[in-house]
Amino acid sequence: MRVPDLKPRSLLKPSRRRLTPAAVVVLLLFAIAFPLGMARDNIWDLFFMISLGVAMGQSWNILGGFAGQTSLGHAAFFGIGALVTRTLWFHHTPFVLAFLVGGVAAATFSMIIGAPTFRLRGAYFAIGTLAVAEVLRITVQQNLPYISTMPVKMIATYNLHLRYWVALVLAVATSAVAYLLLRSRWSLGILGVREDEEAAQASGVHVLRHKLLALALSALLMGFAGALFAFKQISYYPEEPFSPAYTFEAMMIAYIGGVGTVSGSVIGGIFYVAVSYVLAAKLTGVHQVIFGALFVLVVLLLPGGLLEIWGYLKRITARLLGRDRQSTGAPGP
């Protein structure tokens, strides 16, 4: 049987929460213009981390939000991207080439583990992906125990501003990929798998093929995020990017903003990184506990993420404008 000839938008009607084009343009112009007026590196670092967070959130959202496969092992792809890129770059490979190879390496690894892990369902899939990431982390820790530090020549020419612009481009690119995926014919099968795998299979959707597509694309983008992390850090231990913390950061960004939506990862990335920075600076000892409680409140009170607030504001504005037209007798648009 063939997949019904439906527009991708028809499957998205329950979750049409999104930023307006004007809001997207304003955010992008702010991301470009605001840092230019700042001389302090901590501001540039904050904007870098926000851009990296958006890219990570979008990558996890493609698999966890669009395809409905809750992965707890995305740190594996992040770490592979960082390790491969750093190694090639330090061995005189141009960074752009090393960056691309790092992302492709992460996507290739995802294809190797994809078919076996997709035999698992629900919590078992989540635990299985977490186990894969932990095996990689421990392997790297045992075989590469020494700190990875940039050569002196690279440190002498280190430019944080350049790294921010690369991060901003990556954030925009990952958001564009997620947006285009939702408007492609592949989204019919991917969203169908998320809603009901058996029904999608009965409708002619090749479930494993669509899952693997979502996994490969998600791993590719997460690998690029890891490559960017390796480009930014002057020194770090090779096993650090394999930490489960990077998986949970990507997942929290998607859920806080609005899982299953493109705009959600943008809003979630801004909120998560900005609030984390403020709490870490003001409440160093307990900032993680406070943010954890805040995350729980957001999930409980706003199941659709912070984008629900945006939806409420748009509806209230529309009602107020409608009342103004009625009171003045002006015709509607």
pLDDT at 254: 93
Please indicate, yes or no, if residue 139 is contained in any of the structural domains.
yes
Please indicate, yes or no, if residue 113 is contained in any of the structural domains.
yes
Domains in the chain, number: 1
User: Would you say 239 and 141 are in contact if contact means Cβ atoms under 8 Å apart?
Assistant: yes
Q: What is the distance between the alpha carbons of residues 307 and 219, in angstroms, rounded to a whole number? A: 25
Q: Find the domain containing 232 and state its range.
A: 8-242
Q: Give the CB-side neighbour count of residue 130, counting CA atoms within 13 A.
A: 12
Please indicate, yes or no, if residue 135 is contained in any of the structural domains.
yes
Q: What is the CA radius of gyration of the chain?
A: 21
Q: What is the distance between the alpha carbons of residues 56 and 249, in angstroms, rounded to a whole number? A: 8
Please indicate, yes or no, if residue 208 is contained in any of the structural domains.
yes
pLDDT at 233: 95
The tens-digit pLDDT sequence of the chain (333 residues) is: 344 443 333 344 444 556 777 778 888 888 998 888 887 888 999 999 999 999 999 999 999 999 999 999 999 999 999 999 999 999 999 999 999 999 999 999 999 999 899 988 888 999 999 999 999 999 999 999 899 999 998 999 999 999 999 999 999 999 999 999 999 989 989 999 998 888 888 888 899 999 999 999 999 999 999 999 999 999 999 999 999 999 999 999 999 988 999 999 999 999 999 988 888 777 776 777 877 787 788 778 777 788 777 667 767 777 776 665 555 554 544
Which residue, among 161, 175, 162, has the nearest Cα to 28 in the 3D structure?
A: 175
Please indicate, yes or no, if residue 281 is contained in any of the structural domains.
no
Q: What is the distance between the alpha carbons of residues 81 and 101, in angstroms, rounded to a whole number? A: 8
DSSP character string of 63-76: IIIIS----S-HHH
Please indicate, yes or no, if residue 314 is contained in any of the structural domains.
no
Please indicate, yes or no, if residue 327 is contained in any of the structural domains.
no
Please indicate, yes or no, if residue 290 is contained in any of the structural domains.
no
pLDDT at 13: 42
